[in-house]
């Protein structure tokens, strides 16, 4: 499961308002509700699942990247939302640096292999400095999606 497979332009937030990881998670889950990827009535349960996972260990993996994620039985396919913060978000990252790119994704409950595969693909792509820089410089969500598609082919 590649990043381009789970994102549309509407699922990209080019300028997040969040200043910490909890607000970033809320903002990206709101995006998934507004784009119809999760039901409004499931918002609180999905948020609780992601925040429970995040409480066990921050998904701020360094290099300005956060990858909050969770499994839930409230979805039937992998869904995600990408947010960018030019100011940086306090994510309690491993390197104590602010996070500029937050990729939240959800995997259906019980699909452990798909969960690991998706996480590995996203982390591998986001670890490429030229990819991160291209995302940070992209003027809007459409350009960010083009960057994701371009680098996903490499």
CA-nearest of 150, 146, 19 to 88 is: 19
Q: Tell me the pLDDT band of 6, cut-offs 50, 70 and 90.
A: very high
Cβ atoms of 28 and 70 within 8 Å: the answer is no
For residues 43 and 54, what is the distance between their CA atoms, to the nearest angstrom? 16
Structure confidence at residue 122 (pLDDT): 86
Chain centroid to Cα 131, Å, comes to 15
pLDDT single digits (tens) 31-49: 999 999 999 999 999 999 9
| Residues labelled catalytic | 69
Q: Tell me the pLDDT band of 121, cut-offs 50, 70 and 90.
A: confident
Structure confidence at residue 8 (pLDDT): 95
pLDDT single digits (tens) 67-102: 999 999 999 999 999 999 999 999 999 899 999 999
Q: Which two tokens stand for residue 150?
A: 């371009």
Statement: residue 136 has pLDDT above 80: yes
Q: Which two tokens stand for residue 71?
A: 């499994």
For residues 43 and 134, what is the distance between their CA atoms, to the nearest angstrom? 31
Cβ atoms of 114 and 49 within 8 Å: the answer is no
Sole residue written with tokens 């500029």: 100
Structure confidence at residue 114 (pLDDT): 83
Specify the pTM: 0.93
Structure confidence at residue 96 (pLDDT): 93
For residues 119 and 40, what is the distance between their CA atoms, to the nearest angstrom? 25
Structure confidence at residue 30 (pLDDT): 98
For residues 131 and 23, what is the distance between their CA atoms, to the nearest angstrom? 25
Structure confidence at residue 147 (pLDDT): 96
């Amino acid at each position: 499961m590649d990043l381009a497979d789970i994102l549309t332009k509407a699922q990209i937030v080019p300028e997040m308002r969040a200043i910490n990881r909890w607000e970033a998670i809320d903002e990206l889950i709101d995006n998934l509700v507004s784009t119809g990827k999760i039901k409004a009535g499931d918002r609180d349960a999905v948020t609780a699942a992601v925040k429970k996972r995040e409480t066990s260990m921050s998904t701020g993996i360094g290099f300005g990247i956060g990858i909050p994620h969770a499994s839930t039985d409230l979805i039937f396919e992998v869904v995600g939302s990408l947010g960018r913060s030019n100011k940086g978000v306090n994510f309690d990252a491993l390197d104590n640096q602010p996070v500029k790119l937050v990729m939240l994704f959800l995997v259906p409950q019980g699909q452990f292999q798909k969960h690991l595969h998706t996480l590995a693909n996203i982390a591998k792509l986001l670890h490429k400095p030229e990819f991160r820089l291209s995302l940070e410089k992209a003027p809007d969500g459409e350009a960010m999606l083009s960057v994701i598609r371009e680098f996903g082919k490499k």
